[in-house]
Structure formats: structure tokens, C-alpha cells
Amino acid sequence: MRRKSRFSLEGRFIALLSVIVAGSAVLSALLALHWRDGWLVIPVVMLVAIVAVVAAVRRFFRPIDEIHQALRSGVASFKDHDYSVTIATSRGDELGELVQVYNELAESLRNERFDLFQRELMLDTVIQSSAVAVYIANEAGAVIYGNREAADLVGKRGGIEGHDLLKLTGARAESLAAAIADGKDGLFTLPQDGDGSEILHLTCRNFNLNGRIHRLFLIKKLTREITRREVETWKKVIRVITHEMNNSLAPIRSLITSAQKIAETGKGGEHLRDIYQSIGSRAGHLQTFIEEYAHFARLPHPRAEWVDWNPFVTSLESLAEFKLAENLPDDPGHFDPVQMEQVLLNLMKNAAESGSDSADIRLRVLQNETETLIAVEDRGDGMSTEQMQLALLPFYSTKRSGTGLGLPLCREIVEAHGGTFNLFARQDGGMAATCRLPRPPG
């Protein structure tokens, strides 16, 4: 709490000068009264007064100068991030208040620096203990920070700060240096000792530090996670295939048994035809199911070409019922027409099966110089947020007879084009499926 000053600096200084002037005047008057030629003494008294004023002023300003020097030294130490300098004073005036404010500021900066140091220490401990390799490189490509995992990844036991990042990673593996040089998020394979390899994921970000651009690289090992997911996926595939095959083989087995009993009696030819028809239907369903799975597994790489929109959409209209949401672009799109036709037909089939009226199924095509947006919109029953997330996973289906491959196949085709596939719930009900495809220059 600040001390309340009894006298200001200005008041003290005026009081000091007033005492000296008043004393000089009284002394001059007394000498003039006692001496006949007292006026001759006045210059002497004035000289003595001037000397007294100079001495008093110097004495008055000496502690002020000392505090001023101390404040200058303390503020200069702030520039060097040294906040340990404090100033002791017992003054009760404005200068004392200034010193107290300085001391409070120094204490506040000391506390903030200590808290910042503790947070930096905690953050560094977390990063050093992380299983993710962290590299920070400056504009010249030199490493200015790397954690233990980053050093282990490139086989360096000591510090890696100051090393060129590309040379450092290139000495470990060409694939690692190539991923760093490419600077794009994604997976890459790192060779291991022997014949094995490890799958890693790279994340790259730019950020500004002290007015200069720096790059952050995060590398995470995913081999175990991917292997675990692969095992889970294969287990699910086996369960789905087993379920579908049992659904077809069990009725077929029962129908064959019934056919044998009827054949033994030598009667019931009409029943035998029905049984054979049912067996053929179940076998056809099983064949369709297997063919869909095989097609999903053998999806060819898209052969993109320039496609005029009018004949492409006219071909779609002969296969599905829908309306155009707006006029088609004048410029052609760039994609594999066969595969994208399959995507759109699948989306329109889903829209029709969702309970949407055919008049509410709309095809929307928007295009600019770099991107093509194709959307299929409906006013059906829609999906919950959880269902939309699961719908893009293979083998998930909300339909009793569905294989769960339609939407995953759409996403696989769009992503093979270098695009993105998403599902959205529309505001007034229904769904929208969007395909964003890149367009090459020209």
C-alpha cells in the first residue's frame, strides 16, 4: 500500500528557499538597525544567502539524484530481463511513491517470469516425454528445437539443434527426407533394420516467431495402430461375409431338403419349380453380394478426362430421376466419367431409398478455376450425426439388405480423384452429399 506523503517535493523546496530568504531579510534588518552604515552589510548578507541557497539546493537534490540513478539502473536491468533490482527508500513524497511503483513492477515481472519459466519447463517435459517426434526449423532449414523422440528417429543421441534438417533426416532414410521436403501432411514408410518397415504420419505447419517464418514437423508412428485397425477390419469383413453367406446358404439347404422329399414322392412338380426358383434367387443374391465386395477391393485408378456437362447429365437422366438445382457450368469438368457416374447413381439411389420424393432429388454442379463441386440433395428421412460418421465406414448399413459399401465406394472414388467426399444434414430436412474434385489448369 502506498504511503501518503506529508509534504510534496515542490512544497519542501519552496519552504527551504523561503526560510533562507526570510532569514537573510531579518539578518539584514537587524544589521541595519545596529550599524550606522548597515546598508553596506546587505551585499555581504546577500552573498552569504546565495552560498546558503546553493548548499541547501545541493543537499536537497542529492538524495533525489541517488534515487534517479537507482531508477535508471533498475529500468536498464529490465532490458536484460533482470528483475531482481529493488530500491530501498523511506521517503513519503512523490519520489517515494515512484520508487514504490517501481518495486511493485519489478516484483510483478519477477513473478510472471517465474510462472513463465515453470510453464515452459512443464511444456518441455511434456514434449520431451511425447511419443511424437517434434522438429522446429528456421527459414534456413536448421533445427532450432527437437525432442528426444526426434533425435532417436534420426539416430542421434546428442542434441540435434543447429543441424540441417534435410541432411539430418536424409542420413536416416531417403523417404523421411522426401516427406520433410514435400512439406505435406500424410503417411510415408520408413525402412527399418532388416527387411521390415514402419508407417509414420507427418504433420507440417508454418508459424511466425520473432518476425520470422518457422516450420513445425510432427512425426507419429502408426504401424501398431494401423495393424490393429486392419485386424479389426478383417474381423468385421469375416463377420459380414459369414452372416450374408449363412443368410443365403441356410435357406438353400432347407429348400434342397424339401426338394429331395418331394422328389422321393414323385409328385409336386409345381412345388419343385418354386423351390428351384427360390434357390436361384438366393444364389443370385449371394453372387451379387460377392461381386460388390470384389468390385470394391479391385477399384481401378481413375482415368480423368475433360467431360462436357450436358451429355454427361443427359446420360444420368436416363438412369435415375432427379432435377437440376441450377444451370450447368459452361466449362467442362475433369474426372473419370464412368466412375463419377457410378458415384452419382449410387447417391441418387440412396436419396430415393431415404423416402425423398423424386422431385426433391436435386443435382447441383458448381465450378471455378480450381475446383468442381457436385452435390446430390434430397428431402428424405436423413441421418443422425453418428449415422453420418459411420455411413462412410465399410460394411456399415442402415438397410436390412444393404452391404455397407455404397457410400465408402463413393468416397474411395472421389478421394482417388484427389478430392473430398462429405455428408451434410440439410436445414429443412434431408441430406446433401458433396464431391469436391480438383481441376487442373487449362
DSSP 129-187: H-SSEEEEE-TTSBEEEE-HHHHHHTT-SS--TTSBHHHHHHHH-HHHHHHHHHT--EE
Residue indicated by cell numbers 508407417: 199
Residue indicated by cell numbers 514434449: 127
Smallest CA-to-CA distance from 185 within 201, 198, 171, 172 is with 201
Cα 413–Cα 416–Cα 422 angle in degrees, nearest 5: 60
Backbone angles phi, psi at 151, to 5 degrees: -65, -40
> Is 309 found in the same domain as 266?
no
The domain boundary residue, chosen from 297, 318, 351: 297
> Is 412 found in the same domain as 346?
yes
For position 233, what pLDDT does the model report?
66
User: What is the C-alpha separation between 40 and 28, in angstroms, rounded?
Assistant: 10
Q: Is 105 exposed, middle or buried (0-12, 13-18, 19+ CB in 10 A)?
A: middle
CATH of the domain at 379: 3.30.565.10
> Is 428 found in the same domain as 321?
yes
CATH of the domain at 233: 1.10.287
The domain boundary residue, chosen from 274, 297, 320: 297
Tell me, yes or no, whether 1 lies in a domain: no
CA dist 298 to 235, 301, 303, 331, 413, Å?
20, 9, 15, 32, 12
pLDDT tens digit at each of 442 positions of the chain: 444 445 555 566 666 666 666 666 666 666 555 655 555 666 666 666 666 666 666 666 677 777 777 788 888 888 887 888 888 877 766 777 788 888 888 888 888 888 888 888 888 888 888 889 999 999 899 999 999 899 988 888 778 888 999 998 888 888 889 999 988 888 888 887 655 678 888 999 999 888 889 999 999 988 777 667 666 766 766 666 676 677 667 777 777 777 777 776 766 666 777 777 777 776 776 776 666 666 656 677 888 999 999 999 998 888 888 999 999 999 999 999 988 998 898 899 888 888 888 888 999 999 998 899 999 999 988 877 777 776 666 655 655 555 567 788 888 889 889 999 998 888 888 889 999 999 887 6
Domain count, the chain: 4
Tell me, yes or no, whether 112 lies in a domain: no
DSSP 300-315: PPP--EEE-HHHHHHH
> Is 312 found in the same domain as 252?
no
Tell me, yes or no, whether 363 lies in a domain: yes
Q: What is the DSSP letter of 358?
A: G
- State whether residue 343 is helix, strand or coil: helix
> Is 98 found in the same domain as 207?
no
Backbone angles phi, psi at 81, to 5 degrees: 60, 30
The domain boundary residue, chosen from 221, 255, 286: 221
User: What is the C-alpha separation between 302 and 156, in angstroms, rounded?
Assistant: 43
For position 49, what pLDDT does the model report?
65
Tell me, yes or no, whether 124 lies in a domain: no
> Is 309 found in the same domain as 433?
yes
Tell me, yes or no, whether 401 lies in a domain: yes
What separation, in Å, do the N-terminal and C-terminal C-alpha atoms of the chain show? 73
CATH of the domain at 155: 3.30.450.20
Q: Are 245 and 253 in contact (CB under 8 A)?
A: no
Q: Which domain holds residue 264?
A: 226-297
> Is 266 found in the same domain as 240?
yes
> Is 312 found in the same domain as 430?
yes
> Is 234 found in the same domain as 185?
no
> Is 210 found in the same domain as 238?
no
> Is 402 found in the same domain as 332?
yes
For position 397, what pLDDT does the model report?
61
For position 3, what pLDDT does the model report?
46
Tell me, yes or no, whether 117 lies in a domain: no
Tell me, yes or no, whether 111 lies in a domain: no
Tell me, yes or no, whether 25 lies in a domain: yes
User: What is the C-alpha separation between 34 and 353, in angstroms, rounded?
Assistant: 128
Q: What is the DSSP letter of 142?
A: B
> Is 434 found in the same domain as 345?
yes
